[in-house]
Amino acid sequence: MSEYGEYVSLEAQDGVGVIRIDRPKMNPLDKGIQEGLAQAAIDAGADDSIAAVIVYGGERVFAAGADIKEMESLGYTDMVGRATRLQECFAAVSNIPKPTVAAIAGYALGGGCELAMTCDFRIAASDAKLGQPEILLGIIPGAGGTQRLARLVGPAKAKDIIFTGRFVDAQEALEIGLVDELAEPGHVLEAARAKMAPFVDGPAYALRAAKTAIDRGLEVDLHTGLAIESMQFAGLFATRDREIGMKSFIKNGPGKAAFEGR
């Protein structure tokens, strides 16, 4: 068993970390997997050899939701504390201070869809299905689905998907902005690696600052968001990469800087 539990792993290759869920058959996200994901996300964020992160469930299924058998016997008092921790585990993924992408094959339903939405980008196989079917169980999404989905696709479309519990095919998901790119079945991990590759040698602190400014800015009013942006912008003038980028631009034009990640 790894430090992330039996079903979660973190592996790095060529500057890209892959957080993998592997619990046959459908990658149900039980408590152990939730905690494993949180720890893997923290470690990926702290590892300087990792510049970008992929969240992946294999080429058969991303994650088909929570472990309903685990949840079925729980009552209100059981979930009062657990609901908060569930969101904290998923927030750990969204808080990775590096570019992230969900590589979605098969089904990303319920908690699986919510996990995918914690990433900066989503690439789905052309035959993938996404959705928030919790309403069919008499509950609602509890790991961020009502909030992240509405921010991605707008409130009316989010209500349609959540109220009905219907599955969203990959093409519709692309059209409404739930996913950003489609890949051939069997090639989502390859496509995700290609998506993350340009960030491996990028200006790490500028990428972190951009992610912070966008994500935190969406949580507040425009005036406060601009103040967040200003602080992040000014702070980058203390980095080596800012010096490298500007000197390279003056000497060689844009896009030729060899950043050092510091």
191-239 pLDDT, tens per residue?
999 999 999 999 999 999 999 999 999 999 999 999 999 999 999 999 9
98 and 223 part of one domain? no
Residue 1 within any structural domain of the chain: no
- Look up the domain containing 40 and give its range: 8-200
Would 242 be classed as within a structural domain? yes
Model pLDDT for residues 166-184, shown as the tens digit of each residue? 999 999 999 999 999 999 9
Does residue 187 share a domain with residue 96? Answer: yes
Clarify whether residues 122 and 248 are in a common domain: no
Is residue 252 pLDDT above 60, yes or no? yes
pLDDT at 55 over 60: yes
Give a yes or no: residue 260 inside a domain: no
> Which CATH number goes with the domain that contains 212?
1.10.12.10
Task: Indicate if 226 and 137 belong to the same structural domain.
Answer: no
Same domain, 163 and 209: no
Question: Last residue of a domain, which of 163, 185, 200?
Answer: 200
Q: Do 134 and 208 fall into the same domain?
A: no
243 and 181 assigned to the same domain: no
Give a yes or no: residue 117 inside a domain.
yes
State the pLDDT at residue 19. 98
Q: How confident is the model at residue 157 (pLDDT cuts 50, 70, 90)?
A: very high
Question: What's the distance, CA 50 to chain centroid?
Answer: 15
Residue 81's CATH number: 3.90.226.10
Q: What b-and-e string marks burial along 177-190, b requiring 16 or more CB atoms within 10 Å of the CB?
A: ebbbbbbeeebbbe
CA distance 253 to 124: 35
* Same structural domain, 134 and 34: yes
Same domain, 104 and 137: yes
* Residues 37, 94 within the same domain: yes
Place of tokens 């992330």: 4
pLDDT at 152 over 80: yes
Residue 61 is predicted with a pLDDT of 97
User: Which one is catalytic: 114, 184, 229, 260?
Assistant: 114
* Domain membership flag for residue 173: yes
Please, which pLDDT band fits residue 241 given cuts at 50, 70 and 90?
very high
Across the chain, mean pLDDT equals 95
Question: Which residue in 191, 186, 190, 232 sits closest to 208, CA to CA?
Answer: 232
pLDDT at 76 over 90: no
212 with 228, same domain: the answer is yes
Q: Is 134 a catalytic residue?
A: yes
Residue 208 is predicted with a pLDDT of: 97
Q: What is the mean pLDDT of residues 43-61?
A: 97
- 12 in a structural domain: yes
Q: Is the pLDDT of residue 1 over 60?
A: no
Which of 174, 200, 226 represents a domain boundary (last residue)? 200
Residue 16: closest CA among 179, 184, 201: 201
Kindly state whether residue 186 falls inside one of the protein's structural domains.
yes
pLDDT of residue 78: 78
Q: Is 184 a catalytic residue?
A: no
Query: Cα separation of 256 and 239, whole Å?
Result: 18
Clarify whether residues 34 and 70 are in a common domain. Answer: yes
Report how many domains make up the chain.
2
Q: Is residue 133 part of a domain?
A: yes
What burial letters (b/e) apply to 109-125, b meaning 16+ CB within 10 Å?
Answer: bbbbbbbbbbbbbbbbb
DSSP designation for 65: -
Global pTM reads: 0.94
* Confidence at residue 79, expressed as pLDDT on a 0 to 100 scale: 85
Last residue of a domain, one of 179, 200, 221: 200
Q: What is the mean pLDDT of residues 128-152?
A: 96
> How confident is the model at residue 45, as a pLDDT?
97
Catalytic-role residue among 6, 134, 172, 190: 134
Distance of alpha carbon 24 from alpha carbon 164, whole angstroms: 27
